[in-house]
Amino acid sequence: MTIQWFPGHMTSARKEAAKTMALTDVVIEVCDARLPEASSNPMIRELRLHRQRPCLKLLNKADLADPAVTKAWLDFYNSQPGVKAVALSCKKPGEAARVPALCKSLAPHRKDAFKQLRMMIMGIPNVGKSTLMNALLKRRVAAVGDEPAVTKAQQSIDIDPTMSITDTPGLMWPNIRHDSDGFMLAASHAIGRNAVIDSEVGIFLAGLVLQRYPALLVARYGIDVDGLDGIGIVEAIAKKRGCIAKGRHAGVLDLEKAAMILLTDYRGGKLGRISLETPESRAAMLAAE
């Protein structure tokens, strides 16, 4: 299965983002710390570089990611020109409060009401952009939900006389080049469920976690993972949790239900702190292609 998802409103959202970028001092790109490159929209980088805008790259949901891997990603991004990367959780107001000062360090010429610092939040769906917006303004101004593409339109608000911020809709790109990226995005709930088959996404996730964090599967589900592959893990979860189909398929393992158990546990951090990609695994994937 190849996963692609580019709802119609994203074409107009991209055009609006390009216009706003021209009036922006710093781009705040919010990524998922568990899959920083897979969750980084190449169109955002293209727009930013075209306008020569500095980027504050936020690896959000860092509390769900493997801290050692996150450190490697921070080193990777902080070696890039015009980029400052930090890891945080936008759900923690104290961590989100660091963002304006970080942006000021990237645009020191913007420091008062006459030269207002203009920040723009960008990223793919469901990575925490609206949560960050609400945290910075200390009130709920952006709709938040555990579904991709909740925000449909831009909104700009002054934080104080010296700073303004623009929240933008989540932007995907028209063609997800790498199949594994599509699966990682789907596993992390950045893609609408109408574009994926949950059982296949769960099997992909099971295989990845089995490869990198097998002990977490054992601890969470009490299963023996020796000799299993991705589908074997989902089947083992189905048996352990009593996921049995009803109706005309009565008695057959319900892999869809078992896959959703795994996906829900991963998304909520109940499996443990997991990173789906590392700088090394990314480089190896690109080299293989």
Q: Which CATH class is domain 9-167?
A: alpha beta
Intrachain domains 9-167 and 197-288 with the same fold: no
Four-residue CA torsion sign, 159, 161, 165, 166: positive
Q: Kindly write down the DSSP assignment for every residue of 24-80, as one continuous string.
A: -SEEEEEEETTSTTTTS-HHHHHHHHHHT--EEEEEE-GGGS-HHHHHHHHHHHHTS
pLDDT recorded at residue 251: 79
pLDDT lower than 70: segments of the chain: 1-2, 4-10, 111-113, 142-152, 248
pLDDT recorded at residue 108: 82
CATH topology for 197-288 is: Conserved Hypothetical Protein Ylqf; Chain: A; domain 2 (1.10.1580)
pLDDT recorded at residue 139: 81
Domain ranges of the chain: 9-167, 197-288
Q: What DSSP character marks residue 85?
A: E
Give the C-alpha separation, 175 to 208, whole Å.
23
pLDDT recorded at residue 72: 98
How would you class 122 by CB atoms within 10 Å of its CB: exposed for 0-12, middle for 13-18, buried for 19 or more?
buried
pLDDT recorded at residue 15: 82
The pLDDT tens digits of the residues spanning 29-54 come to 999 999 999 999 998 999 999 999 99
